[in-house]
Amino acid sequence: MLRILSIFLLLITGPARAEAPKVLADIPAVHSLVAQVMQGVGTPDILLTQGSDPHDFQLRPSQAHAISQADFIFWIGPELTPWLERAIEGVGIKGKAIELLEVEGTVLRMFGKPEEHSDENVAEPEESGHDEHGHDGIDPHAWLSPVNAAVWLDKIAAELSGIDADNAARYLENANAAKARIVLLDAEINRILAPMKDTPIIVFHDAYGYFSDHYGLIIPGAIREGDAATPGAAHLVELRQTIAQSGVACAFGEYQHDPALLDAVFADTNVSIRGALDPSGTTLEYGPDLYNTLIRNLATEIAQCQRE
């Protein structure tokens, strides 16, 4: 009789979740945040393969299937990865896709403008084709603000807890621990970058606005204004004028992009060409430690400008 009663109670209450939620992330930085929240419960998967460009990526059939079967996809949004928007619409998803740029409390900035605090009802920019986010609209590189990373950790924990109540306490504990590490990281990065506050630098493409706004860096220009845009002659002339007027000390390339362009742009200038930056973390080892390593590496590389 007791056995029958136990079976009846199981049927009416539903079974406990037997396995961790199936979770996908778009880019390494987001994957790292999700992995920190899921530690001890499960491991999220990532769509972007090692060394790939998040702005231009071709999904494999197995990845498209994984999208359709996911409980959650945590992604920045179509402003960064239009290919993922098309995939979600094309194959569908049994679970839920969370656009992190739309999470309440996320600090957003427009290209060329300072950060602004936002809510879920941020006005959409005018159509820009998404395939090549140029020099207008919302800047999607929002993971480079530690403030946003902390906001997203809370959101990730809340969403996972909603379908996996048995592990809700673990998700919350992990998110709080990750936020505490970010607080320590933030203080460390401020110390590393303190000598750079008054030193203008040039970057390869306009991806570092959140980072420079948060840490008080001066970045008067970028070689490429958009992620997929080839710089035109007029832009390069304007950039050289900016270099001369701003007293730019250093220029930084990026992995995945030809460094020869830097040599051409900065020929006959006093600008020191420094190492390559990796704003999305595709050259790093994927996992929970990646986010803090990414932010620390950016700061350490940029600070080399003052250590010649």
Which has more pLDDT, 169 or 89? 169
Confidence category of residue 56, pLDDT binned at 50, 70, 90: low
CATH code where residue 238 lies: 3.40.50.1980
Q: Do 163 and 292 fall into the same domain?
A: no
In a domain, 107, yes or no: yes
In a domain, 4, yes or no: no
Q: Do 182 and 86 fall into the same domain?
A: yes
Q: Do 167 and 260 fall into the same domain?
A: no
- Sheet containing strand 201-205, strands side by side: 221-224, 201-205, 250-254, 272-277
Q: Do 146 and 260 fall into the same domain?
A: no
| Residues in a beta bridge with 142 | none
Q: What is the DSSP letter of 211?
A: H
In this structure, are residues 280 and 14 in contact, taking their beta carbons and an 8 Å threshold?
no
Which has more pLDDT, 243 or 25? 25
pLDDT exceeds cutoff 70 at 25: yes
In a domain, 53, yes or no: yes
Give me the mean pLDDT over the 109-126 stretch: 54
Structure confidence at residue 90 (pLDDT): 83
In a domain, 244, yes or no: yes
pLDDT exceeds cutoff 90 at 124: no
In a domain, 86, yes or no: yes
Instruction: Please state, rounded to an integer, the average pLDDT across all residues of the chain.
Output: 85
188-212 per-position pLDDT tens digit? 999 999 999 999 999 998 999 999 9
Confidence category of residue 116, pLDDT binned at 50, 70, 90: low
Q: Do 199 and 55 fall into the same domain?
A: no
Q: Is 172 helix (H, G, I), strand (E, B) or coil?
A: helix
pLDDT exceeds cutoff 90 at 97: yes
271-291 per-position pLDDT tens digit? 999 999 999 999 999 999 999
Q: Do 32 and 143 fall into the same domain?
A: yes
Domain residue limits at 277:
195-306
**Domain closes at, from 158, 188, 218:** 188
Q: Do 177 and 222 fall into the same domain?
A: no
| Residues in a beta bridge with 96 | 72
In a domain, 89, yes or no: yes
pLDDT exceeds cutoff 60 at 123: no
Q: How many domains does the chain have?
A: 2
Confidence category of residue 219, pLDDT binned at 50, 70, 90: very high
If DSSP states are collapsed to H, E and C, what string results for 80-91?
A: CCHHHHHHHHHH
Query: Which range among 26-30, 102-106, 110-114, 238-242 shows the weakest confidence by mean pLDDT?
Result: 110-114
Which has more pLDDT, 48 or 156? 156
Q: Do 127 and 244 fall into the same domain?
A: no
Give me the mean pLDDT over the 227-253 stretch: 83
**Domain closes at, from 169, 188, 207:** 188
Q: What is the DSSP letter of 119?
A: -
Q: Do 31 and 108 fall into the same domain?
A: yes
**Domain closes at, from 153, 188, 223:** 188
5-22 per-position pLDDT tens digit? 444 434 443 444 568 999
Query: Which range among 43-57, 116-130, 149-163, 226-240 shows the weakest confidence by mean pLDDT?
Result: 116-130
* Block residue for tokens 């590490």: 181
